[in-house]
Amino acid sequence: MAGEPAAQGPWCKRSLTALGVAIAAALLSVGLVASRLLLVPGLHDNDWPLLMWLAKEGSLADPEPWAVGHYGIAQLLLVRAVWPVFGGTVAAAKVLNATCVGASAWLVWKVARQAGGTTAGALAFLAFATSGPALLTGQSEFADPPALALLLAGLMLARSGRGGFRWLAAGWFLGAAGTFRIHFQIFGVVFGALLALDRVSRRGQGARKRMLDVSALGAGFLVGVAPMAILF
């Protein structure tokens, strides 16, 4: 019994740290939404009418508009589903992006903490949350933020030190990133290959287990990227 408080202390500290980072990430998202939709409403990228037309005209019966490639199918489906709530397709896309920038900041913290510890995680979070690209894409209509969030989620799962289902889920996240932005298919392939090489090179477990994890990663990637592959 005497050892319980000491054992619980680090857990409580980690929980409070995670909560603080989550709150900071949420405030980042709220700030991006406010700055783009409330303080400077009406500003947007020049091709927003294309997003509006693609999101409203595409359907499962006629998916041809989704195959333009300028916007990913996952973004178009999400915008199509929620745009009435936000009053327009551009507003829906920007709220989605702002939310995903906050999620990406939290995931950057998680991945950096896995690799380098608490200090590395905090510095990575601050660097990302205050970077120009993160702030700009968080106020844009293009779906780089959700694609990045999925890519980071895949990295976090693959680097968690656990195998099996997590590798399958990691592959799915890497593949699904490409359904929001097409060029993230390339990023998913590159990161997937690096993760597979890293897994195979580790000697902590048997060769069969390592190959099963790599196979799960590849299978998950194919399932995640399938919508874009089928559409094109």
Same domain assignment for residues 123 and 225: no
Q: Are residues 55 and 118 in the same domain?
A: yes
Q: Assess if residue 223 is contained within a domain.
A: yes
Instruction: Indicate the pLDDT class of residue 192, thresholds 50, 70 and 90.
Output: very high
Cα–Cα distance, 18 to 191 (Å, whole number): 26
Position with higher pLDDT, 86 vs 220: 220
In sequence order, the 6+-apart residues with CB closer than 8 A to the CB of 76 are 51, 54, 55, 58, 66
Please list the alpha-helical segments (H only) found in 117-202. Answer: 118-129, 132-137, 144-158, 165-177, 184-201
Q: Is residue 13 part of a domain?
A: no
Q: What pLDDT score was predicted for residue 203?
A: 73
175 in any annotated domain: yes
Same domain, 184 and 213: yes
Residue 151 and residue 230 in one domain:
yes
Same domain, 134 and 167: no
Question: Are 23 and 34 found together in one domain?
Answer: yes
- Buried-state track 103-125, b at ≥16 Cβ within 10 A, e below 16: bbbbbbbbbbbeeeeeeebbebb
pLDDT higher than threshold 90 for residue 172: yes
On whether both 93 and 156 belong to a single domain, the answer is no
> Can you give the residue range of the structural domain that contains 124?
18-40+47-140
Residues 86 and 181 in one domain: no
How far, in Å, are 69, 83, 111, 124, 138 from residue 104 at the CA level?
23, 22, 10, 11, 10
Specify the number of domains making up the chain.
2
User: Is the per-residue pLDDT at 131 higher than 70?
Assistant: yes
Establish if 104 belongs to a structural domain.
yes
pLDDT in tens, 132-169: 888 888 878 888 999 999 999 999 999 886 767 899 99
At residue 18, the 3 state secondary structure works out as helix
Nearest to 51 by CA among 26, 69, 25, 33: 69
Q: What is the mean pLDDT of the chain?
A: 80
Residues 190, 213, single domain; the answer is: yes
Same domain flag for 114 and 151: no
Answer yes or no: do 125 and 230 share one domain.
Answer: no
pLDDT per residue as tens digits for the range 35-83: 655 554 444 555 556 666 777 776 667 667 666 666 788 888 888 888 8
Asked whether residue 221 is assigned to any structural domain, the reply reads yes
Amino acid identity of residue 192, one-letter, is G
pLDDT reported for residue 51: 67
- For residue 222, pLDDT over 60 is answered with yes
Residues 6+ apart with CB under 8 A from 19: none
Question: In this predicted structure, which of 13-27, 78-92, 155-169, 214-228 has the lowest mean pLDDT?
Answer: 13-27
Residues 133, 151 share a domain:
no
